[in-house]
């Protein structure tokens, strides 16, 4: 099978390319090599057997040519970063939403050949995760963001209007989507555009809702990438990782090797028309992840708890892996402790520009950090 991976020179795309090559597929990576992610041009980690085409996903002619002899498309290309998306609104919507639309127009023109479309969605489209009422036991609750007045009082956990505590539970794909950032809205666009066009033109399509992906090859000098990479860039420069609120907010950290396997399974699956969580189903606090990385690097640096919060931030979101297990036979293999240890081993030989303070200043000046 000939597979086009948009964003294929990136963190997830390169790991997927390795898997596809090992399975005997031809891989073409279409990537803009955005300097924020690839400051030194094509990355050394990209396998020499990957056919790299440098181009912008919004360029109809370039992307169409890259699709001409392709059997399956995995669409990963996107500008990533929740905070930055809140002030670079046009760029995020242009690259992500318009870029996805361009990709789909080119795919539809070649629908007689292209057998499969898999698109990267994101857990960010949920907004807050799924909760249950601690007093009544009622589950499946989908609360909105915490009120500004509550956050101003530094009361971080969610509660009902009556004051009942809400406890996080695993978030299922059926939870209403309540995206709280421009980035999240653009990823919802990715998912909904691809699933609707796939259904209309009979192109089998799956959307994978990725939770917090971490592992080797993350862009360490990009202060808008995943939290594990942001913490790593701080630690590699001898600085304390910065944790907002009290550091006890939780996420579902899924290793990039598991994510690449999920995409590989999706390209070869017969399932279609579904959105699936790619997650572990286990909660990890932001504080524990920062501490685990420091320990893995043998650094006695504790996370800095700043007691501030960012507009649009959520408190807890842990995925329900049931549906992916049923439709793809996918289950995450790497637990977060082992995964952070592997990441720390890779980090030991890396260098990173710590631009986190610069990014935080940008948010603060715009009133997005309080």
Report the relative pairing of strands 166-171 and 316-319 from DSSP bridges: parallel
Please list the pLDDT of the chain residue by residue as tens digits (370 residues).
999 999 999 999 999 999 999 999 999 999 999 998 999 999 999 999 999 999 999 999 999 999 999 999 999 999 998 999 999 999 999 999 999 999 999 999 999 999 999 999 999 999 999 999 999 999 999 999 999 999 999 999 999 999 999 999 999 999 999 999 999 999 999 999 999 999 999 999 999 999 999 999 998 878 777 888 899 889 999 999 999 999 999 999 999 999 999 999 999 999 999 999 999 999 999 999 999 999 999 999 999 999 999 999 999 999 999 999 999 999 999 999 999 999 999 998 888 888 888 888 888 999 989 9
Domain containing 301 — which CATH number? Answer: 3.40.50.720
CB within 8 Å of 22: residues ≥ 6 apart = none
DSSP state of 145: P
Structural domain of 144: 2-365
Position 210 in a domain:
yes
Position 200 in a domain:
yes
Say how far apart CA 267 and CA 74 lie, in whole Å.
Answer: 8
Q: Which of 183, 214, 224, 309 is catalytic?
A: 183
User: What does the block give as tokens for 364?
Assistant: 């603060």
Is 183 an annotated catalytic residue?
A: yes
Position 18 in a domain:
yes
Say how far apart CA 279 and CA 112 lie, in whole Å.
Answer: 33
Position 370 in a domain:
no
Cα-flanking dihedrals φ and ψ of residue 309, to 5°? Answer: -140, 160
User: What does the block give as tokens for 251?
Assistant: 């996420």
Say how far apart CA 265 and CA 258 lie, in whole Å.
Answer: 10
Position 143 in a domain:
yes
CB of 287 closer than 8 Å to CB of 253:
no
CB of 128 closer than 8 Å to CB of 142:
yes
> How does pLDDT run across 342-366, given as a tens digit for each residue?
999 999 888 888 888 888 888 899 9
Per the structure, the count of domains in the chain is 1
């Amino acid at each position: 099978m000939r597979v086009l991976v948009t964003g294929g020179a990136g963190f997830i795309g390169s790991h997927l390319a390795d898997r596809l090559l090992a399975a005997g597929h031809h891989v073409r990576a279409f990537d803009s090599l955005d300097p924020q992610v690839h400051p030194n041009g094509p990355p050394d980690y990209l396998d020499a057997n990957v056919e790299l085409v440098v181009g912008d996903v919004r360029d109809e002619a370039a992307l169409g040519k890259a699709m001409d002899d392709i059997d399956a498309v995995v669409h990963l290309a996107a500008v990533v970063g929740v905070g930055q998306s809140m002030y670079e609104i046009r760029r995020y919507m242009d690259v992500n939403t318009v870029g996805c639309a361009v990709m789909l127009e080119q795919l539809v023109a070649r629908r007689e050949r292209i057998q499969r479309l898999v698109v990267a969605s994101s857990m960010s489209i949920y907004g807050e995760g799924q909760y249950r009422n601690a007093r009544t036991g009622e589950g499946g609750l989908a609360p909105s963001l915490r009120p500004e007045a509550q956050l101003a009082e530094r009361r971080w956990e969610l509660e009902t209007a009556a004051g009942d505590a809400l406890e996080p539970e695993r978030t299922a794909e059926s939870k209403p989507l309540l995206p709280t950032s421009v980035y999240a809205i653009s990823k919802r666009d990715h998912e909904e555009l691809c699933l609707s066009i796939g259904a209309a033109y009979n192109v089998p399509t799956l959307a994978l809702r990725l939770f917090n992906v971490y592992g080797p090859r993350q862009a360490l000098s990009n202060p808008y990438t995943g939290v594990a990479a942001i913490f790593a860039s701080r630690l590699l420069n001898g600085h304390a990782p910065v944790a907002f609120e009290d550091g006890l907010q939780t996420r579902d950290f899924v290793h990039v090797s598991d994510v690449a396997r999920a995409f590989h399974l999706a390209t070869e699956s017969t399932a279609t028309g579904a959105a699936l969580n790619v997650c572990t189903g286990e909660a990890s606090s932001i504080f524990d992840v920062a501490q685990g990385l420091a320990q893995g690097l043998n650094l006695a640096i504790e996370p800095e708890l700043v007691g501030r919060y960012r507009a649009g931030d959520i408190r807890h979101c842990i995925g329900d892996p049931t549906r992916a297990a049923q439709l793809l036979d996918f289950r995450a293999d790497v637990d977060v402790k082992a995964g952070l240890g592997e990441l720390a081993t890779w980090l030991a030989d890396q260098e990173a520009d710590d631009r986190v303070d610069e990014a935080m200043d940008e948010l603060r000046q715009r009133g997005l950090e309080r």
